[in-house]
A and B are shown apart, each in its own frame.
Chain A
Amino acid sequence: MDYIPVIINLFFLIILLALGFFVGSWQERRHFREIEIRERDSLHLPLLTAKTLDMAPEQVESAYLVQGSAVISIDYFKRLLAGLRNLVGGRISAYESLLDRARREALLRMKESAPDASMIINVRLENAAIGMSAQQGNLGSVEVLAYGTAVKLKAGHEIRS
C-alpha cells in the first residue's frame, strides 16, 4: 500500500537507462572513430580468406598462427531496447553495432599482432555470447575471435601495394 518503493525503483531504472544511453553511445562513437583510424593505418596488410595460395615454398620465409579477440559489453539502455525489439521482431540495431565493433576490433588486434607479415591468409571469425546473462539466454557481452595464418615472404618476393 505504499507508492514510495515504486517511485524509488522507477527512479533507479531511469538513472540506469540514462547512464547506459549517454555513456554507452559516447563510448561507441569514440570506438568507431578509433577503429577507422587504425584500419587506415593497417591497410597495407592484406587479409585473405583463401586457405591456400599458389606460391612456391622457397618464396615464404615464415608462416605462423595469429589471433586477435575482443569482448564488448552491451549497455543497459541497449539491453532494454533489444528486449522491447524481441517482443515485436525486426532488426536489432542495438546489437548490430555491438557485433560490428567486436568484429573489427578483433581483426585489428590480429593484424597488429603480426606487424612484419606480408599477408594473413585463411582468416576466420568466431563469436560467442559470454557473461552471466549468457546462461539465461540473454546477450550480455559478445566475444569475437579472429584468427588466421600470417605469411612472411622472403625479400624480393613481396606483394607491392
Chain B
Amino acid sequence: MKYVPKQPEGNVNVSEQNPLREFFVLLGGVLGFLVAVYFVLGWMVDLVAPRISPELEKKLGVLISNSYLPEQEDSSSSAYLNTVLARLADDRCFSYTLPVQVHYSSSEVVNAFALPGGHIVINRGLLEKLKSENELAFVLGHELGHFRNRDHLRSLGRGLIFAALSTLVLGTDNSLSGFISGSMEVSSLSFSRRQERAADAFGLNVLQCAYGQAGGSTAFFEHLDDQSQNLARRYLASHPTSPDRVRLLKQLIREKNFAIDTTALIPLPPWGE
C-alpha cells in the first residue's frame, strides 16, 4: 500500500452561505411572522374587550392596577378629585359597569391614565398645569371616554400579547428582557391617536353635560403649548399634537353649539400638602 499525500480542494464540511444575508432573511421572516400574529391577536382582543364582564374586569383590576396605583394617597386631594369625578359620573352624564375612582399620585410626570377596574390615576405634574376645575373635569372626562370605549382593556390585552410573544421567542432570561419590559410598559399604557380623539370628544360631551358649558376643554392643551416643557412633550409623544386636538375640540364645540363662559370657571384647591 502506498501513501499518497493529498490536500482536498474546497471544504465540504462548511456550507457556502453568506451569513449576513442568512441573518437578515431569518430576522425579517421571524419578525414579519410575529407582527402578523400580533395583529391577528390584537384584532381578537378588540372583539373580546367589549364583552368582558364587570366581574372579570374587577378581578383584572385587582391583579394589574395595584402595581400602578400610588402607594400613599394624599387624602384631601384625592377626596376633592373624587367629588369632581362624582359630578361627572352621576349616571346622567356617564355611567360604567363598575364604580369609577380617581387616585392622586405625587409623580411630577405630566400624565393621567385609565386602568382596568375603573381606576383613574392623575399625577401631580399634570394637576399643576391645570387652571380650573373645568379643565380637570375635561381631563377626567377624557379618561372616562377610555373606559366607555374599553381602550384600557384593549391596550392591556395587546400588552399581554406582546409580552407573551417576546417571552415565547426570547425566553424569560435574555439580554433583551430589559428591552422588552421597557416596551411592554410603553405599549400597555398608551392608546392610538384615533382612540385619543374619540376620548377627547367624549370628555367634551361629559364636561358640557355636567357643567352646562364647554369652557376649559381646550385650555389645558393651550397651556401646554405656552410652556412646552420636556415632561409635557414626553406625555404628548403618544398623543395627537396639541394644536390638532384644540382644532378638533373647537370644531366639535361649534357643531354642537356648546356654550363657553370663561367667567364661570371654578378655581382649583392647592395640591398635596
Q: Does A134 interact with chain B (Cβ within 8 Å)?
A: no
**Once the chains bind, are B182 and A39 in contact (CB under 8 Å)?**
no
**Once the chains bind, are B30 and A13 in contact (CB under 8 Å)?**
no
**Once the chains bind, are B20 and A21 in contact (CB under 8 Å)?**
yes
B side interface size, CB within 8 A: 32
Residue of A nearest to B182 (CB): A6
Write the nearest CB–CB distance from B225 to chain A, whole angstroms.
22
**Once the chains bind, are B11 and A44 in contact (CB under 8 Å)?**
no
**Once the chains bind, are A159 and B182 in contact (CB under 8 Å)?**
no
The number of inter-chain residue pairs (CB within 8 angstroms) is 80
Best-buried of B14, B169, B178, B183 by chain A (most CB within 10 Å):
B14
**Once the chains bind, are B176 and A40 in contact (CB under 8 Å)?**
no
**Once the chains bind, are A84 and B7 in contact (CB under 8 Å)?**
no
**Once the chains bind, are A81 and B179 in contact (CB under 8 Å)?**
no
User: How many of chain A's residues touch chain B, expressed as a range?
Assistant: 35 or more
Q: Give the complex CA separation of A147 and B30 in angstroms.
A: 42
Q: Residues 99-120 of chain A: 1 if any B CB is under 8 Å from the residue's CB, otherwise 0?
A: 1100100000000000000010
**In the assembled complex, which residues on chain A have CB atoms less than 8 Å from the CB atom of B27?**
84
**Once the chains bind, are A100 and B178 in contact (CB under 8 Å)?**
no
Q: Give the complex CA separation of A117 and B101 in angstroms.
A: 87
Q: Does B17 interact with chain A (Cβ within 8 Å)?
A: yes
Partner of A87, one of B3, B7, B14, B30: B30
**Once the chains bind, are A84 and B179 in contact (CB under 8 Å)?**
no
**Once the chains bind, are A87 and B169 in contact (CB under 8 Å)?**
yes
**In the assembled complex, which residues on chain A have CB atoms less than 8 Å from the CB atom of B4?**
161
**Once the chains bind, are A44 and B182 in contact (CB under 8 Å)?**
no
**In the assembled complex, which residues on chain B have CB atoms less than 8 Å from the CB atom of A155?**
none
Write the nearest CB–CB distance from A90 to chain B, whole angstroms.
9
Write the nearest CB–CB distance from A45 to chain B, whole angstroms.
9
Q: Give the complex CA separation of A88 and B28 in angstroms.
A: 13
Write the nearest CB–CB distance from B229 to chain A, whole angstroms.
16
**In the assembled complex, which residues on chain B have CB atoms less than 8 Å from the CB atom of A56?**
none
Q: B3-43: which residues lie under 8 A (CB-CB) from chain A?
A: 3-7, 11, 13-15, 17, 19-20, 22-23, 26-27, 29-30
Given contacts A77-B23, A81-B22, A94-B19, contact A9 B179 (CB under 8 A): yes
Q: Give the complex CA separation of A161 and B1 in angstroms.
A: 11
Q: Does B185 interact with chain A (Cβ within 8 Å)?
A: yes
Q: Give the complex CA separation of A78 and B169 in angstroms.
A: 17
**Once the chains bind, are A1 and B185 in contact (CB under 8 Å)?**
yes
**Once the chains bind, are A1 and B22 in contact (CB under 8 Å)?**
no
**Once the chains bind, are A93 and B14 in contact (CB under 8 Å)?**
yes
Given contacts A5-B178, A6-B179, contact A100 B3 (CB under 8 A): no
Q: Does A131 interact with chain B (Cβ within 8 Å)?
A: no
Residue of A nearest to B188 (CB): A1
**In the assembled complex, which residues on chain B have CB atoms less than 8 Å from the CB atom of A21?**
19-20
Residue of A nearest to B189 (CB): A1
**In the assembled complex, which residues on chain A have CB atoms less than 8 Å from the CB atom of B5?**
43-44, 46, 161
Q: Does A25 interact with chain B (Cβ within 8 Å)?
A: yes
Q: Does A58 interact with chain B (Cβ within 8 Å)?
A: no
Write the nearest CB–CB distance from B25 to chain A, whole angstroms.
9
Partner of B15, one of A5, A9, A96: A96
Q: Does B111 interact with chain A (Cβ within 8 Å)?
A: yes
Q: Residues 161-175 of chain B: 1 if any A CB is under 8 Å from the residue's CB, otherwise 0?
A: 000000001000001
Write the nearest CB–CB distance from B168 to chain A, whole angstroms.
10
Best-buried of A21, A46, A78, A97 by chain B (most CB within 10 Å):
A97
**Once the chains bind, are B23 and A9 in contact (CB under 8 Å)?**
no
Binding site for A on B (CB under 8 A): 2-7, 11, 13-15, 17, 19-20, 22-23, 26-27, 29-30, 109, 111, 169, 175-176, 178-179, 182-183, 185-186, 189, 234
Q: Sort A-B residue pairs by CB-CB distance and give the 7 closest, nearest first.
A: A84-B26, A93-B15, A9-B179, A43-B5, A6-B182, A97-B14, A100-B13
A-B contact pairs, 13 of them (CB 8 A): A1-B189, A1-B234, A9-B178, A13-B175, A13-B176, A36-B7, A77-B19, A87-B26, A99-B13, A100-B13, A100-B14, A159-B2, A161-B5
